[in-house]
Amino acid sequence: MKPIFSDSPNFILAEGKPAAGAFDRQVLVSGFDQERYSGSTLLFIGAGGLTSAIAPAATRKGIGTEKFLDPDRVEPSNLSRQFFTASDIGQYKPVALVRNLEAVCTAQTRLYGYAISFQQALAEGLNLSCDVALCCVDNNPSRNAVSPYFRARGIPVVFVAVSSDSDHGYVFIQDRQGPCIGCLFPDMATDQRHPCPDTPAISDILQAVGALAIYAIDTLLMGRRRDWNYRTIFLRSGQFDGASTIGQRRGCPLCAHNDAGY
Ligand SMILES: [Zn+2]
């Protein structure tokens, strides 16, 4: 990878140390392939609450490489649910996250942190190659940029989101083919809004959807079975919890040009 921000507070590269015996139990799980997992790369778009609910688990499981993109800095309000401590306040999130993840590594995981947005990374020509991308942002313009970029490269994307009242959330898997995030939410393509600062956010719903995303990554990398591509969770009532398989939408504003291809 091109270290465009080397020797600056905007970029960090760290490498974990293997811990003998750390994988003894997880390799007993049906379908789990440690060699495959430890040879795989995850790209996280966003390094906030959603990523904090996913990346520590992937790191402990011995993922091969993780890359993090986020231009934001750690604020005191993040400490209740994100993988930061008080000493990280003021640091760029992806830089602090890599430092904190290094401490929980169980393998020789390579950790890259870039203090830029996904759109800036595209403009800079950053190497965004990965086996699975995680879209852990809080706004639709970024989701709209992420979806077609990885679709065009045949890379699956796990979209993770929680509602603005922190009651519910979803995980949607945009696989190498088939429906994109615009097929699921066609209105998203024209939504240019960014969330207001100070929206509610709490760890419980983040961890609930994060757990599903961690599982979804395994299903994309190895032979763990998954019979859904869209999963919803509501904390207040389980009545609307769901697991379903969304199909491609004809005339989808994001992937319409591919309609005839599937
Ligand atoms: Zn679509």
Query: How far, in Å, from the CA of 113 to the mean position of ligand 1?
Result: 30
Rounded to whole angstroms, the Cα distance separating 132 from 214 reads 11
Q: CATH code at 83?
A: 3.40.50.720
Backbone angles phi, psi at 14, to 5 degrees: -135, 160
If pLDDT is split at 50, 70 and 90, which confidence band does 2 have? very low
> What average pLDDT does range 85-113 have in this prediction?
98
Query: How far, in Å, from the CA of 83 to the mean position of ligand 1?
Result: 33
Structure tokens at 75: 């604020």
Residue 174 located in a structural domain: yes
Query: Helix and strand tally (H, E) in the chain?
Result: 8, 9
> What average pLDDT does range 153-167 have in this prediction?
96
| pLDDT at residue 257 in the model | 58
Q: Is a pLDDT exceeding 90 seen at residue 235?
A: yes
**Other CB atoms within 10 Å distance of the CB of residue 195:** 12
* Number of domains the chain is built from: 1
pLDDT digits (tens, 9 = 90+) for 3-34: 445 556 799 999 999 999 999 999 999 999 99
Query: How far, in Å, from the CA of 261 to the mean position of ligand 1?
Result: 12
Give this prediction's pTM: 0.95
Query: How far, in Å, from the CA of 193 to the mean position of ligand 1?
Result: 20
Residue 121 located in a structural domain: yes
If pLDDT is split at 50, 70 and 90, which confidence band does 256 have? confident
Q: Is a pLDDT exceeding 70 seen at residue 198?
A: yes
Query: How far, in Å, from the CA of 128 to the mean position of ligand 1?
Result: 22
Residue 111 located in a structural domain: yes
| pLDDT at residue 261 in the model | 46
Query: Is residue 123 exposed (0-12), middle (13-18) or buried (19+ Cβ within 10 Å)?
Result: exposed
Query: How far, in Å, from the CA of 154 to the mean position of ligand 1?
Result: 14
Half-sphere exposure of 40 toward its Cβ, with a 13 Å CA cutoff? 23
- How much helix, strand and coil, in percent to the nearest 5, is found in the chain? 35, 20, 45
DSSP per-residue codes, 172-226: EEE-SSS--HHHH-GGGGG----PPTT----HHHHHHHHHHHHHHHHHHHSS---
Q: Is a pLDDT exceeding 80 seen at residue 146?
A: yes
| pLDDT at residue 145 in the model | 96
Query: How far, in Å, from the CA of 107 to the mean position of ligand 1?
Result: 37
Query: How far, in Å, from the CA of 254 to the mean position of ligand 1?
Result: 5
Query: How far, in Å, from the CA of 255 to the mean position of ligand 1?
Result: 4
Residue 47 located in a structural domain: yes
Backbone angles phi, psi at 214, to 5 degrees: -60, -40
Whether the Cβ atoms of residue 226 and residue 215 lie closer than 8 Å to each other: yes
pLDDT digits (tens, 9 = 90+) for 106-117: 999 999 999 999
- The candidate with the shortest Cα–Cα distance to 67, out of 26, 18, 20, 126, is 126
Query: How far, in Å, from the CA of 144 to the mean position of ligand 1?
Result: 10
Residue 70 located in a structural domain: yes
Query: How far, in Å, from the CA of 57 to the mean position of ligand 1?
Result: 30
> What average pLDDT does range 250-257 have in this prediction?
86
**End-to-end distance of the chain based on CA atoms, in angstroms?**
33
Residue 4 located in a structural domain: no
> What average pLDDT does range 185-194 have in this prediction?
92
Residue 3 located in a structural domain: no
Question: Can you give the three-state secondary structure of 20-88, one letter per residue?
Answer: CCCCCCHHHCCCCCHHHHCCCEEEEECCCHHHHCCHHHHHHCCCCEEEEECCCECCHHHHHCCCCCHHH
| pLDDT at residue 197 in the model | 83
Query: How far, in Å, from the CA of 244 to the mean position of ligand 1?
Result: 16
> What average pLDDT does range 71-86 have in this prediction?
98
Query: How far, in Å, from the CA of 259 to the mean position of ligand 1?
Result: 8
Query: How far, in Å, from the CA of 248 to the mean position of ligand 1?
Result: 6
pLDDT digits (tens, 9 = 90+) for 199-233: 899 999 999 999 999 999 999 999 899 999 999 99
| pLDDT at residue 156 in the model | 98
Query: How far, in Å, from the CA of 242 to the mean position of ligand 1?
Result: 21
Rounded to whole angstroms, the Cα distance separating 129 from 127 reads 6
Residue 6 located in a structural domain: no
Query: How far, in Å, from the CA of 67 to the mean position of ligand 1?
Result: 26
* Protein residues placing their CB within 5 Å of the ion ligand 1: 180, 182-183, 252, 254-255
- Domain range for 24: 11-261
